[in-house]
C-alpha cells in the first residue's frame, strides 16, 4: 500500500510529470485539475510493481497519460476513486513490449458519486516474444446515478510469438449508467500494408508507419504540448529500435 500522499489543493491546476513509477496516493481536491504524466522506462534488469491510488473530489478533473516501455517484468496499477459529484477521470495509456518483457497495465475506476465520468483509452504493442496485458475495471456503486464510463483497449502484435491479453471488467450495481467497453487485438492489417506498398513504400517502412499511426491516434489526445512531444519522441525511438 502506498504511504506517500500528494495533495492537489482545491481549485488549483497542476501538471505532474513522473520519470519513474512511484507508489503513492494522490488527492485531487474539489474543483482542482491534475494533469498527470507518467513514464515507466526502467532498465531491463529491473522489475516494477507499483500502484497509484487517486481520489478525485467534487468537480475535480484527473487527466493522465501513462507510457510503459521498461523493466523485464512490470505491473503498473492505477486506482481512481471518483468520490465527489461531477468528478471526472481520463486515463490514456500505451505499453510497448519487446524481447522477453512482460508488461501489465491495470486501471480500476470506482464511480462512488453521482454525475461522474470516466474514460480509459489504452493501446499496446507487443514485439518479439513479449507479453502485454491490460486489466481494466469500471465499478459503479449501487444507487449512484448519471454515470458515464468508457473503456477501450487495442493492441498490435508485431510477431507471431508475441502475446497480448485483455481482461475487461464491468461491475455495475446501479441502473442509471452509460458504460461501454471493448478490446481488439490483432496483427497489422494486410490491406493497409498493401495499400502503402502499392504507393512505393517498402514493407518495413509501411509496418513502421502503420504502427506509429496506431499509437499516434491516442498520443494525440494528450493536452499538454511539452509532454505530448516528449511521449511522441519516446514512442518513435522505441519503434526505431524495435522495428528494424
Q: What is the DSSP string of 136-190?
A: EEEEE-TT--SEEEEEEEEEEE-STT-EEEEEEEEEE--SSEEEEEEEEEEPPPH
d(CA 51, CA 202): 42
Q: Which of 164, 167, 168 is nearest to 185 (CA)?
A: 164
Least distance from other proteins to the Cβ atom of residue 235, Å: 12
Residues 6+ apart with CB under 8 A from 174: 140, 141, 142, 143, 144, 145, 147
Q: Does 160 participate in binding other proteins (rule CB under 8 A)?
A: no
Starting at the edge strand that comes first in sequence, how are the strands of the sheet with 163-172 ordered?
5-8, 24-28, 47-56, 73-82, 102-111, 131-140, 163-172
**CB of residue 30 to other proteins, shortest distance in Å:** 37
User: Is residue 213 a contact residue for other proteins (CB under 8 A)?
Assistant: yes
Cross-strand pairs, 243: none
Binding test (CB under 8 A) with other proteins, winner from 10, 172, 177, 209: 209
Choice between 47 and 197, CB closer to other proteins: 197
What the block records as the C-alpha cell of 166 is: 485483455
174: contact with other proteins by CB under 8 A: no
Q: Which among 92-100, 113-121, 161-169, 213-221 is the span making contact with other proteins, rule CB under 8 A?
A: 213-221
Q: Out of 173, 217, 233, 240, point to the residue binding other proteins (CB under 8 A).
A: 217
* Span 179-208, contacts to other proteins by CB under 8 A: 190-192, 194-203, 205-206
Nearer to other proteins, 22 or 193 (CB): 193
Q: Does 210 bind other proteins (CB under 8 A)?
A: yes
Size of the site for other proteins (CB under 8 A): 23
Binding stretches for other proteins (CB under 8 A): 190-192, 194-203, 205-206, 209-210, 212-217
Amino acid at each position: 500500500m502506498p504511504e506517500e500522499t500528494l495533495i492537489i489543493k482545491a481549485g488549483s491546476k497542476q501538471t505532474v510529470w513522473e520519470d519513474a513509477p512511484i507508489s503513492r496516493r494522490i488527492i485531487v481536491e474539489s474543483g482542482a485539475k491534475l494533469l498527470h504524466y507518467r513514464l515507466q522506462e526502467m532498465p531491463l534488469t529491473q522489475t516494477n510493481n507499483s500502484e497509484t491510488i487517486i481520489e478525485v473530489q467534487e468537480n475535480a478533473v484527473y487527466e493522465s497519460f501513462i507510457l510503459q516501455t521498461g523493466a523485464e517484468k512490470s505491473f503498473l496499477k492505477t486506482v481512481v476513486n471518483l468520490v465527489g459529484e461531477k468528478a471526472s477521470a481520463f486515463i490514456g495509456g500505451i505499453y510497448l513490449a519487446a524481447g522477453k518483457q512482460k508488461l501489465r497495465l491495470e486501471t480500476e475506476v470506482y464511480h462512488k458519486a453521482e454525475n461522474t465520468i470516466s474514460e480509459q483509452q489504452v493501446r499496446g504493442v507487443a514485439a518479439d516474444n513479449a507479453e502485454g496485458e491490460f486489466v481494466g475495471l469500471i465499478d459503479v456503486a449501487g444507487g449512484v446515478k448519471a454515470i458515464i464510463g468508457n473503456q477501450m483497449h487495442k493492441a498490435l502484435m508485431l510477431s507471431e510469438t508475441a502475446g497480448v491479453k485483455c481482461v475487461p471488467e464491468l461491475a455495475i450495481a446501479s441502473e442509471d449508467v452509460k458504460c461501454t467497453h471493448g478490446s481488439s487485438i490483432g496483427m497489422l492489417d494486410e490491406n493497409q500494408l498493401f495499400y502503402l506498398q502499392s504507393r512505393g513504400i517498402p514493407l518495413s517502412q509501411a509496418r513502421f508507419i502503420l504502427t506509429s499511426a496506431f499509437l499516434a491516434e491516442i498520443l494525440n489526445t494528450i493536452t499538454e504540448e511539452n509532454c505530448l512531444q516528449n511521449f511522441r519522441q519516446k514512442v518513435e525511438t522505441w519503434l526505431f529500435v524495435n522495428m528494424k
